[in-house]
Chains A and B, each alone.
Chain A
Amino acid sequence: MNDELRVYGLHAGIVGLLLISYFVLPEYHSGNLARIMVLAVYAMGYNLLFGYTGLLSLGHALFFSSGMYGLGLAMYHMDFAVPSGILMGLLAALITSTVVGFLALRTSGVAFMIVTLMFAQAGYLTVLYFGEFTRGDEGFVLQQSERVIGSLDLTSPAGRYFAALLLFAICFFLIMYIVRSGFGLALIAIRENEERAKMLGYDVVTLKLKAVVISGVMSGAAGAAYALLFGYAGATFATVQYSIFPLLWVLLGGAGVTIGPLIGTIFMFYLIDYSSSLTMAYMLVAGVVLVLLTLYAPQGLAGELRRSYFKWLP
């Protein structure tokens, strides 16, 4: 079996496994998994920029919340139907990521981290400032009756799960395609050695902007899906914490590996879920595990798997 087939097989296999999981797992876990898949889409968007292009953003909550509020506000205030709401979410993320990318990419390294962090902070404050519309920290709820596409009810466990799975599968295959394309290889080249990439004739400025925009729109898609499937939009999702989460998931799962974000999101989700059932100090448990992983699996779970066993992982 050649590597190409292995890659297709693995990706199709994971989507197949997630499909079967709904019928096998108890409802509690399949409910979790729906949430995890949406968050994993966020992490996959983040991974394209961080793991593949080597740009560490601390402001992705801005893109996630752009998608969330793009859809949420359109549905809440303007009675948009679900499909046009999704479109508004994607559009909002497209605009913010293009503007932020255009400006932030004038910097690099630590400055890029700070600039993206500040943009996201400005975004968060904007949400609070327009509290009249966004209802600030408190947020707003999307009515159950609005969250339907035709006769498909996105609030039922099955509707929610399969909508999340559909979005996940689209993004998962898209990322698989991108990182194995010439464009993806060029992004990896930028990560490895930007100066060399430039001096091989790659237009690194444009390539990086494209990476920011794709990453931002995918994060926005996750934000929109989150609001749609779980019926709530609030300013918490625009805070720094939500910029750090995808970084953690990706680091844990494996940066620059297509399956890393999913693995990291599942791991972190259940780590917190499990440890909070044991102790109030669950963040301490999570912290210790994170330290251990950084010490013993610095490339993340999937990253270590690739290093030791499956060199063909894209």
Chain B
Amino acid sequence: MASMSILETKGLTKTFGGLSANTNIDFSLTRGKITALIGPNGAGKSTFVGMLSGRITATAGSVHFDGVDISNLPAFKRIGMGIAYTFQITSIFPGLTVQRNVELAARRALSLPKSEILDAVDEVLQRVDLLDRKDQKAADLSYGHQRILEIAMGLIQKPKLFILDEPTQGLADAEVEQFIELINSLAGKSTILLIEHNMDVVMRAADHIAVLNFGELLAEGTPKEIQENKEVQNAYLGKTTDA
């Protein structure tokens, strides 16, 4: 069982003052699969993945990644072990060129000589269709392109686990299509944890869905199971699928 899952949490809890954002979450991520984490606004999704990546320190509980207890490791060490993370609010290096942004992501993750890193950068930019903009300042890109750039910065790290916090937020339909294609092309190579509000994306990309509600894990299962789950429908899907 242990080798099947790449990441496991036990009793993961976060309280802010008296407010409980995540309560006692036992969760595991299957290796090589795309798992979507859904739930209404304020359900604690970002807090949860924040604790996985180390951005947020857990109040209680443990996180194991690839068989190692990473509960007490700072974020940069967790990233170094092969976790990549994209922020809910786009987070890039605005004053640097597109190429430099991706290069910075690559330098940390790949130990290659500079020329090979730049080749890898070009390759990833080609894949996300940003190659012709590689000398542009990241700040000058459109919002959608900035989001794609951040995803490219994750891709180039060839992460074992890629955590994407609402990656399609604010993307145009065509860009969403491109994103789904991109994610599906990673299937089997990377494990992906996707926080997503767009149900269309979730249903088309995810192998597995976990639902978070009021900081607790409400349900888990295949997309079909989740769609048919009454509790989930009440908490979440019933209100937003028609949007």
Contact = CB atoms under 8 A, between A and B. Distances in A.
Interface of A: 182, 185-186, 188-189, 192-193, 195-204
Contacts of A189: 93, 96, 104
Nearest to A204: B76
A202 B93 contact: no
Interface residues on B, range: 20 to 34
B55 A201 contact: no
Contact of B107 (A182, A193, A195, A204): A182
A121 to B, nearest CB: 32
Interface of B: 53, 55, 75-77, 79-80, 85, 87, 91-96, 100, 103-105, 107-109, 153, 157
Given A185-B104, A186-B104, A193-B91, A198 B96 contact: no
B55 A199 contact: yes
A198 B76 contact: yes
Given A199-B75, A201-B109, A204-B76, 17 more contacts: A182-B107, A185-B104, A186-B107, A189-B96, A189-B104, A193-B91, A193-B92, A193-B93, A195-B55, A196-B91, A199-B55, A199-B79, A199-B87, A199-B91, A200-B105, A200-B157, A201-B157
A192 B139 CA distance: 11
A201 B156 CA distance: 13
A182 B94 CA distance: 19
B100 to A, nearest CB: 8
B44 to A, nearest CB: 19
Contacts of A188: 93, 96
Contacts of B92: 193, 196
Nearest to A185: B104
Contacts of A202: 76, 108
Taking each of B55, B108, B153, which has the highest tally of chain A beta carbons within 10 Å of its own beta carbon? B108
B65 to A, nearest CB: 14
Given A182-B107, A189-B104, A192-B96, A201 B91 contact: no
Nearest to B163: A199
A198 B56 CA distance: 13
B55 A200 contact: no
A109 to B, nearest CB: 18
Nearest to B80: A201
B76 A192 contact: no
15 contacts: A182-B107, A185-B103, A186-B104, A188-B93, A192-B95, A192-B96, A193-B91, A196-B87, A196-B93, A197-B104, A199-B55, A199-B85, A200-B79, A201-B77, A201-B157
A198 B77 CA distance: 9
Nearest to B55: A199
A232 B198 CA distance: 70
